[in-house]
Structure 1
Amino acid sequence: MPPMFHVSSVRNRASIQRHGLDWTRMLDAPGIAGSREPEATGVYLVPDRFTAQFFVRLNNTGGPVDVWTVDDVPADDLVVDDCTGFGYVPYRIGRDRLTLHDRDLPPPPPPPVVIDAATGSGRVVGALTITSADGIATEQPLYLYPRGSDG
C-alpha cells in the first residue's frame, strides 16, 4: 500500500519523533487550520504529496511545518470528516511508521494586495493585533488605499 502524508507544525516534531502521531498530545502548537483543539478523535492523513502541499499552503500554525510520510495505513481505515471532507484514522500512529519527509517549510506569504480598479478604493488586506499596556489584545483590520485616495 502506498504511504500517506501528515502535515504538522515544526513545534510538534520532537513529540512526534518520541510518541508518534497522537491527537491527544496537541498542546504546544495549533493545528494546520489554526485550531487549538483536535477537530476529530484521530489523526488526519492525506493520500498524496499534492494534497499534503495544500495543507502546507493552508498552514495557520504561526510558523513552519513538517510533512511526514506514514506507512502501512490501509485506505479503508480513513474516516471522512463530515465538516471538512478530509480523512483521518481513529487511532494513534506509532513513530516506527513515520518518516520526516519535508522539514521546516515556511508559512504561506500574506494575501495579495487588492485594489478595486473601478473605484480605486482600498480593501481589507489583513489584520493588526494591538495590545494595550494592561495586556488586552484587540484585532483591527488593515486597509490599503491607493495613492491620492483620502481613504
Structure 2
Amino acid sequence: MPRLHHVTSVRNRESIRTYGLDWSRMGAARGIAGSRGPEVEGCFLCVDPHEVDWFIFLNNTGGPVDVWAVDGIEVGELLLSPEGHHYFPGRIEPGRLTLVRQDVPAGRSLANDAGA
C-alpha cells in the first residue's frame, strides 16, 4: 500500500493533531488553492511526490505549509474532484497521520529539500 500525503497550512497543525483531517473543520486557514471553504466533502491526498510538489507550489494559504503522511488508505478508495485531484470521501483520524515535513515555505519542493 503506497503512502499518501496531504499538504496544508501550518495553521491547521494543532487541529489535525487533535481531530485528524476533517473538511468540516476547515476555517483556521484557507485551503491550499486559496478557497475559504471545502471544495469537496473529503480530504485531498497526493498519490506521488510530484503531486506533493505541485500542491506546495500551488500554496495560496498565505504562509508555509506542512506535509502529512497518510497511512491505511488505498488509492482505490480515492475519488477525483472535478478538477482532477484525488480525495478521500471521509474524515481521516489522527492515528493514520504523521507530520513528515513542517514549515515548508511557498515554492520549496520536497525534491529541493532532498538535494535533488
Higher relative contact order (CA 8 A, sep 6+): 2
Matches within 5 A, 1:76-87: 76-82=76-82, 84-87=83-86
Match of 1:103 in 2: 102
Q: Secondary structure at the match of 2:7?
A: strand
Q: Secondary structure at the match of 1:50?
A: helix
Question: What percentage of aligned pairs have identical amino acids?
Answer: 51
Residues 40-80 of structure 1: CA deviation (Å, up to 9, x unaligned)? 00000011222101100110000000000000111111111
Q: What CA deviation, in whole Å up to 9, does each residue of 1:10-35 have, x standing for no partner?
A: 00000000100000110110000000
How far apart, CA to CA, are the structure 2 residues paired with 1:69 and 1:50?
Answer: 14
Instruction: Spell out the pairing of 1:49-128 with structure 2 (5 A cutoff).
Output: 49-82=49-82, 84-108=83-107
| Greater fraction helix | 2
The match for 1:34 is: 34
Q: Which residue of 2 aligns with 1:23?
A: 23
For 1:14 and 1:63, locate their aligned partners in 2 and report how far apart those are by CA, in whole Å. 16
TM-score scaled to structure 1, two decimals? Answer: 0.69
**Gapped regions of structure 1 (runs ≥ 5):** 110-151
What letter matches 1:105 in structure 2? V
Please state whether the residue corresponding to 1:60 is helix, strand or coil.
coil
SS of the equivalent of 1:21 reads coil
Which protein is bigger by CA-based radius of gyration? 1
Unaligned runs of 5+ in 2: 109-116
The letter of the residue matching 2:4 is: M
Q: TM-score, with normalisation over the residues of structure 2?
A: 0.90
**What is the RMSD computed on CA atoms of the aligned residues?**
1.1
